[in-house]
Structure 1
Amino acid sequence: MANKERIKIRFFVSYAHDDEEYASAFMDEFKEMTAPSERYEYLFWQDTEILPGENWREEIKEALDNCDVGLLLISPAFLASKFIDEEELPRLVGDKKKPIIPVMLKMVNLKRHNLKGLDGNQIFRLKVEGVKQLKSFAQCSASQRSDFVYELFDKVESRLDKIHG
């Protein structure tokens, strides 16, 4: 098959800083899985790219304005974050709605937590053979984390295919 230009997809990665360890582990695996995509070139923006001295609020606002998709790494800390609730989510799920990929980084109670308007969206979790409850990334063993990222990649590609025809 001839090499054709891949479609660039700019992701804004939203996560709570309290979840840095899991968010970093997830992103490392997800970046590795998405890199050889045949159809899409995945470009991820995280606030770790903000340089010293830059206005971080402006940088985040610009990244939100320029992204194609919001990658939301959901956890109790994510849902409790005032900044995410007031600055990020309104731009992704409010009036200026953009496609989002909500991923369960750490378990939240879908019935009892305030999901900040995400309750109408399918949140990705891993179905593990023989286990009744779907798993968050943090609940997965090392091998299950690979499965988690593999399954998510397949679903993201399908979603992008739907968006890009």
Structure 2
Amino acid sequence: MKIFVSYSHRDEGTLERLKAHLSPLRRDGRIETWYDREIRAGGEIDGEISAELEACDIIFLLISPDFLNSDYCMDTEMTRAMGRHEEGSARVIPIIVEDCYWKSSPFKKLKALPKDGKPISNWTNENTAFLNIVEEVARVLDDMDRAPVSAQPEPGGATRPEAQPRKYRVQRHFDDIDRSDFRDQAFDEIRSYFQEAAVELDALEELRGRFTARSDKKFSCTVVNRSRMQGGTAHITVRCSTGGHGFGDISYVFAEDSADNTSNGGFNVENDEYEMFLTATMNFIRGNQEDRMTPHQAAESLWTEFLEQAGVSLA
């Protein structure tokens, strides 16, 4: 899917952080983003912006006081974006960057991100806000992939299915370096997920969360459920394997900082002829689609299992 980003240049720092957080979706080939900095020297600015705005599938509006103050953002880009949204030819997603009076704008009827339209600048940890945005965008992509094929009128009033771009998967060979890079990337994503989730959880009244980096290949996390008299504390240590014990490429143990020769489970890097993925070491059936996990899915699954140790569950 092609994403057009409409933004004020004063919010370019937010745009760069958003691009960084969207990189897993880009790396998976699910999205490509375009914004006006892509225009090369000598390019016709208005013409290229108009062409890209017409060609995209999704339009991000980075809403801030500077965006609302920009005639070009509001009168040109936003107006056409809402026109395409009403036509059903593109999906508009407002992303609230800073506090501003946007509820009187034409896009006020659309669900804004992050959660509940809370501005990114108001989150205790802005990475948590960006994570929420990426998760919601991934769900939108899933919905768009599942959308029924529309029909085009034939002469005489009949209809025929609209031609859809074909998608291709290319077989490739994965060597040990590829698998090692994927393992390290997966561990980094799991670590970031736990770090951001612990900060967000610690802001809640009845819960406490603490993230501790033990090394560049090991971290621990603790959750305390204050409302639970017994069994309200949970610990976990997650390690990225560098060889040695056969607990998986990424292993974990429900202890604060355990010895490296202990484990309660883990994840292995595996691949088919098309892609790499993670599987839980406790799964004995390999290769089925339902056993495969992206690093984000593995992080979410492990975080959920970890919270249950303290009597907490995700809503």
TM-score, normalising length from structure 2? 0.42
- Per the TM alignment, residue 71 of structure 1 is displaced from its structure 2 partner at its CA by 1.1
Match of 2:134 in 1: 153
Shift of 1:78: 0.9
Alpha-carbon distance, 1:36 to partner: 4.8
Aligned counterpart, 2:123: 140
SS in 1 for 2:32: strand
Alpha-carbon distance in 1 for matches of 2:79, 2:87: 8
* Aligned partner of residue 121 in structure 2, secondary structure: coil
Cα RMSD for the two superposed structures = 2.1
Q: Write the distance in 1 (CA, Å) between the matches of 2:113 and 2:99.
A: 11
If asked which structure has higher relative contact order (CA below 8 Å, sep 6+), I would say 1
1: CA distance between counterparts of 2:17 and 2:140?
Answer: 23
How far did residue 147 of structure 1 move? 1.5
Q: Shift of residue 160 of structure 1? A: 2.1
Q: Distance in 1 between matches of 2:22 and 2:114?
A: 18
Q: C-alpha distance in 2, partners of 1:86/1:109?
A: 17
1:54 to 43, 51, 54: 43
Residue aligning to 1:24? 16
More strand by share: 2
| Residue aligning to 2:61 | 72
Contact 2:96–2:120 (8 Å) recurs in 1: yes
| Partner residue, 1:6 | none
* Runs of 4+ with >3 A deviation: none
Tell me which residue corresponds to 2:113.
124
- Answering whether residue 18 of structure 2 is matched by residue 35 of structure 1, we say no
Q: Identity over aligned residues, as a percent?
A: 24
**Deviation, structure 1 residue 100:** 1.2
2:91 matches 1:99: yes
> Larger Rg: 1 or 2?
2
Q: Do the aligned partners of 1:90 and 1:96 also contact (CA within 8 Å) in 2?
A: no
Q: Distance in 2 between matches of 1:85 and 1:110?
A: 11
Counterpart Cα distance in 2 of 1:87 and 1:53: 21
Question: Residue by residue, what CA displacement relative to the aligned partner does 1:104-139 show, whole Å, maximum 9, x if unpaired?
Answer: 11122345xx42x01111111247xxxxxx632223
What is the distance in 2 between the residues matched to 1:43 and 1:26?
Answer: 13
In the aligned structure 1, how far is the partner of 2:69 from the partner of 2:140? Answer: 28
Mapped contact 1:70–1:92 kept (Cα < 8 A)? yes
2-side partners of 1:107 and 1:33: how far apart?
A: 28
For 2:114, the aligned partner's letter is R
SS of the residue aligned with 2:107? coil
| Contact 2:5 2:62 (8 Å CA) reproduced | yes
User: How far apart are 1:25 and its partner, in Å?
Assistant: 2.5
TM-score scaled by length of structure 1: 0.76
d(CA) in 2 for partners of 1:67 and 1:120?
21
- Using the alignment, how far apart are the partners of 1:46 and 1:67 within structure 2? 11
Contact 1:102 1:122 in 2 (8 A): yes
